[in-house]
Amino acid sequence: MEDQITRLTSRLVVPFIQVYGIYIILHGHLSPGGGFSGGAIFGASLVLMALAFNLSAGVKQISHQSASLMESGGALGYALVGLIALLWGGNYLANRAASFPLGRAGELFSGGAIPVITVFVGMKVASTMVTLFYNLIEGEAKVGDPEKPGA
């Protein structure tokens, strides 16, 4: 399907969606939201690109390799933040007890490990959505019609 309206609209909307997703992730400790919801919004923007254009346009935005890097990196980063807490004298995944600087509550840089964890979770969720979508679409394209997927 080559629909001008869909393509133009999504090209206009995608940057806003992505900024909004990043905002939700970065503001997870200050306002409703967080890694899971922000990551889902960010991932949805990439899925929208692949749906409105075609799979290769989506893959151009974020390649398989970087998706899998984000995938592993997000989860790994989360686990490693926990390990840093060990080095700093707390138990696993400790925050205040491991003397992460908490800052002044309500500011962007506050909450010690929490924003870091939120960013990692956001990365993880966004890449999960994208990877899941790519893999299912590609499986479909391999078995079914060679037409542009999602059209």
Residues in the chain: 151
Count interface residues toward another protein (CB under 8 A): 56
Between 107 and 147, whose beta carbon lies closer to another protein?
Answer: 107
Distance CA(99)–CA(97), nearest Å, equals 5
DSSP state, 98?
T
Using CB under 8 A as the binding rule, whether residue 66 contacts another protein is answered as no
Residues 6+ apart with CB under 8 A from 6: 52
Binding to another protein in span 4-23, by CB under 8 A? none
DSSP sequence for 56-92 = HHHHHHS-HHHHHHHHHHHHHHHHHHHHHHHHTTS-T
Using CB under 8 A as the binding rule, whether residue 78 contacts another protein is answered as yes
Binding to another protein in span 130-149, by CB under 8 A? 131-132, 135-136, 138-139
Maximum CA pair distance of the chain?
Answer: 58
Rounded to a whole number of angstroms, the minimum distance from the CB of residue 83 to another protein is: 7
Distance CA(24)–CA(34), nearest Å, equals 6
Site string for another protein, 19-58 (x = CB under 8 A): ---------xxxxxxxxx----------------------
Q: Are 21 and 116 in contact (CB under 8 A)?
A: no
Between 52 and 94, whose beta carbon lies closer to another protein?
Answer: 94
| Contact positions vs another protein (CB under 8 A) | 28-36, 65, 68-69, 71-72, 74-76, 78-80, 82-83, 85-86, 89-98, 102-103, 105-106, 110-114, 117-118, 120-121, 124-125, 128, 131-132, 135-136, 138-139
